[in-house]
Amino acid sequence: MIHPLADVQTEQIGSGTNVWQFCVVLKGARVGADCNLCANVLVENDVCIGNRVTVKSGVQLWDGVTVEDDVFIGPNVTFTNDLVPRSKRYPEQFARTLIQKGASIGANSTIVAGHTIGAYSLIGAGSVVTKDIPPNTVWYGNPATQRGYVTNDGRLLNMEKMDEDGNVVDI
């Protein structure tokens, strides 16, 4: 379903994907199946979005961002793609950012360009990510620091990989 008030220029959108009002999806973008692009999302040309991805309202996915399957991107998450931005001066190539399978990024987080957010990792709301994030880790703060671990199914673990009952969990 593409809302009549969305501007979708690409033909590369998978089945079952919803694109809500006031979204802009440029011609070169690729969006997988069963995704949900909420209101006011911008997707530039050199962006690839996998399957079953949720992008909440107010997110801009700039050139150079790749989002793998089953990723959650919270409202107003900010991505960058130019490490030394200048008005009307563009790099030869924008920095690449990779969000790996199953990762979740909390609302209002900022992801500095050129980093990888590891598979099934969790970035807490309001965080500023300035480095690569390993898989199955929990990060939050400004700058974001590791605060624990998370299983593929979303169970939070402390820094010793123990759950809330004190059981050590293998991830």
The pLDDT of residue 112: 98
Quote the pLDDT of residue 134.
Answer: 98
Residue 149: count of CB within 10 angstroms of its CB:
24
- Weakest-pLDDT range from 27-31, 55-59, 89-93: 89-93
For residues 120-127, give the mean pLDDT.
98
Rounded CA separation 36/18 (Å)? 5
What pLDDT score does 137 carry?
98
* pTM for this predicted structure: 0.96
Q: CA 37 → CA 4, 78, 88, 106, 116, distances in Å? A: 14, 15, 29, 16, 21
